[in-house]
Amino acid sequence: MAEVLVLAEHAGGTVKKVTTELLTAARRLGAPSVVWTGPGVEEARDRLAEFGAEKVYVADSADFASYVVAPKAELLASLVASASPAAVLIAGSAEGKEVAGRLAVKTGSGVLTDAVDVVAGEDGTVLVSHANFGGAVNAHARVKSGLAIITVRPNAVAPEAAAGAAVLEPVSFEASDAAKVARVVSREAAAKSARPDLQEAQIVVSGGRGTGSAEGFTVIEQLADAMGAAVGASRAVVDAGWYPHQFQVGQTGKTVSPQLYAAVGISGAIQHRAGMQTSKTIIAINKDAEAPIFEIADFGVVGDLFTVVPQLIEEIGKKKQL
């Protein structure tokens, strides 16, 4: 069975959920081989095996932490040359998309981004699904030249465990001078919130301009905390400085695909929908019954969010006490 390279996203030794999703998708195409960059593989190995990694290429080089993105693309290109995989799967994060683009150029291959599923085609090629227009239209695509390099949208594939051998295979790697042109000069840990990561969360509660101010936006945080959810925001909110930019959902923000997405005081502009339309269930709370968000909502409440949300939080509280 052909190998399928999976670039692991991890924080130290902690395997990010999206990596288990990539492994699940990779098993549909062949035998998953994880590409591990930097230290921490010993702590991670069991987790990788649990989700079907047959092999783990370990490149424990400091270059991945010292330089921006390019060394990862270079490592992948060398493994593509030596392992001749059927495909390369990469997380659809900002960094993952950049790695994929660079790898495509290096290998003369096609790249497909934002996949929500992959299957092996009968002719041996990889068929990639994309969800468009709120999931109403599913487009299928395949790479026509070179290797299939695919970025997969976080939360699109449900991770399923399946035992793999996870045999560690050390790879010696040193980035070329060309890959060292953008150096990391300092790192600052982002303030860690107790809430789940926006792109990995099962529930996302997002607030829009309807919240009226930074103070008004706190009602979104309260609802998110009542639901164990991540907080998201529309661009109108982050542009106004009511909430940090990293929480923006949409075309120029993060793409999310949770089980449940609550859009509160958000009109549902096409650019916002681009980042959340594949959520499994969408709830909208808006005082305007004509707001476009209701076109894609599974459940909607027409009303003032400052009246509706506190009642919702109260009801959730009562349910928790039962």
Ligand X SMILES: Cc1cc2nc3c(=O)[nH]c(=O)nc-3n(C[C@H](O)[C@H](O)[C@H](O)COP(=O)(O)OP(=O)(O)OC[C@H]3O[C@@H](n4cnc5c(N)ncnc54)[C@H](O)[C@@H]3O)c2cc1C
Residues that bind ligand X (CB under 6 A): 208-210, 234-237, 248-253, 265-267, 269, 271-272, 275, 286-288, 291, 304-306
Contact between 51 and 165 (Cβ < 8 Å): no
The nearest distance, CB 243 to ligand X, in angstroms, is: 11
151 CB-side CA count, 13 A: 22
Name the closest residue to ligand X (Cβ): 250
| Residue 169: CB minimum distance to ligand X, A | 40
Q: Which is nearer to ligand X, 2 or 313 (CB)?
A: 313
- One-letter amino acid at 56 equals V
Shortest distance, position 278 Cβ to ligand X, whole Å:
15
Strands 126-132 and 167-170: unpaired
CB of 236 to ligand X, least distance (A): 3
Give the span between the Cα atoms of 74 and 285, in whole angstroms: 47
CA atoms within 13 A on the CB side of 148: 27
SS (H, E, C) 66-135: HECCHHHHHHHHHHHHHHCCCEEEEECCHHHHHHHHHHHHHHCCEEEEEECEEEECCCCCEEEEEEECCC
Decide: 255 and 131 in contact? Cβ < 8 Å: no
Q: Which of residues 71 and 250 has its CB atom nearest to ligand X in the complex?
A: 250
Minimum distance, C-beta of residue 299 to ligand X, in the bound complex (Å) = 15
Query: Which CB, 164 or 208, lies closer to ligand X?
Result: 208
**Please, what is the Cα angle at 8 between 247 and 96, to 5 degrees?**
50
- CB atoms inside a 10 Å sphere around CB 122: 7
Pair of tokens at residue 87 = 């495909």
Q: Any idea what DSSP says for residue 254?
A: B
Element (H, E) at 260: strand 260-264
Residue among 33 and 248 whose Cβ is closer to ligand X: 248
Closest contact distance (angstroms) between CB of 272 and ligand X is: 3
Output 51 or 261, the one with its CB closest to ligand X. 261
The smaller minimum CB distance to ligand X, of residues 153 and 235, is found at: 235
In the complex, minimum distance from the CB of residue 207 to ligand X, in angstroms, rounded to a whole number: 8
Rounded to a whole number of angstroms, the distance between the first and last alpha carbons of the chain is 51
For ligand X, the closer CB: 43 or 314? 314
